[in-house]
Structure 1
Amino acid sequence: MVGAVIHAIGCGFKEALFVPESINSPEDGATEPVRLPESDLESIEASVRKLLDQSAEQARQLDSLASAPAASPFGAFGMPGFAGMPPQPAPPEPRPILELEGEEYEDELDALSDWVDDFLIRVYGAEVTTAAPWCEQWQEHDDVVAWLHALWLAYQQHKDPEAGPAGLFVWHRDFLTHAMAATRAPGGPLSACMTDPDRPAHRLLPGPKPSIRSSSSAAEEPGANGGPDQAAG
């Protein structure tokens, strides 16, 4: 298409006649047509071809810019979440603390202890009495650790802006009240510990024994309580 246009323009130039006033006008007053030299026509044709090629290239560039997504001005700085950087991996899903082991458990317990000692007990820790016992070694009570860890996870969830303006109210109503009542109940897991702030105490209460079914299954396993393995010896 472009070649046909250029060819037509070139032919038009070659056929064009310029009729300026002749320097030496004939006696009858008529002017003589003057043709442009062939070399001038070729130069004009080359210029027109170059201009058309440039226009076509600019049109292609405009089309590509219109279809491409806008580049982020922060991409060159390597900022996460912006163009030029891979997406950040999602944080791991929280797990119940009693499912953790080793260093992972200790790190989680340290973080939980900071929250309990620096925030929870300082703000919501009522006076230590027989009706509301406490233990300065609560980290050794697995059930208390599980309760407080669940309360901490719920706190993180409900203080997030996505929880809405009523998020923390829901946390107080549905989580804080129940967790504190369960862990500090007069007959709860800390009832044998500190009931007077001036008399620190710590004692782990023994839990129920395994059920009869579990005990029977353990006794029937080979090698248990001097079973067939010992008899064979």
Structure 2
Amino acid sequence: MSEPIAGLPEPEPIRVPDEDLDDLASTLARTIAEVRQHGVLLDRLGADADPLGYEEPESTEAEPESPASVFILAMGGAEYAAELAALANWVTHVLLPTYGREISSTRPWCSHWHEHQEAVARLHGLWLAWQQLTDAEAGLTGPSTWHRDHLDHTLLQLRAPDGPFAACTTSPARGREPGQERRVGGDRHDAGGHSASEDCISQVPSSLSVRPFAPQGEGLPHP
């Protein structure tokens, strides 16, 4: 508290009449009581979420079920067939004409790739990435990313000398699951009906609703 300035009289203390003090105390007590009542009321409202007893009716509209997975190996039946047909169209009309190269023992290919589960899985993943990374929202570097991170790796795995097509030019039934080959007459056939003496380079069957792809010369077409 500051010291009084010399030469100035000290201020007199403020005195409130006793009757005013009684009124002030009474008013303060009423205010405190009202605040407490309001607090009790708020507590009751918080405990009872719906004081009027109104319940919202349950929605009768069924929420659409989202697919468990977009990956083709998680599908079955008609859904798998439709997805495989769409994939075959992309492989036949986009992938092979642009990126198909000559076939050799060190770089095999099988146009019956749809009968090789590993090939279906890898090509489907490649197609999904293509759809995402060639979209305008992927930006200008999307296609380059698709080539580097997806296309190159997938083709290296599929067309490796020891990959899923390694035996297709000699015996398509070799290296498959037991029970996936059968004998017709004296010749051995796989589940797709290909003879062991036949080259496995043929067209995708019409059951997949894909137009036949016309190769240029032997093997896959040049870009």
Structure with bigger helix share is 1
TM-score for the superposition, normalised by structure 1: 0.46
Larger RCO, structure (CA 8 Å, separation 6 or more) = 2
Structure with bigger gyration radius:
1
TM-score for the superposition, normalised by structure 2: 0.48
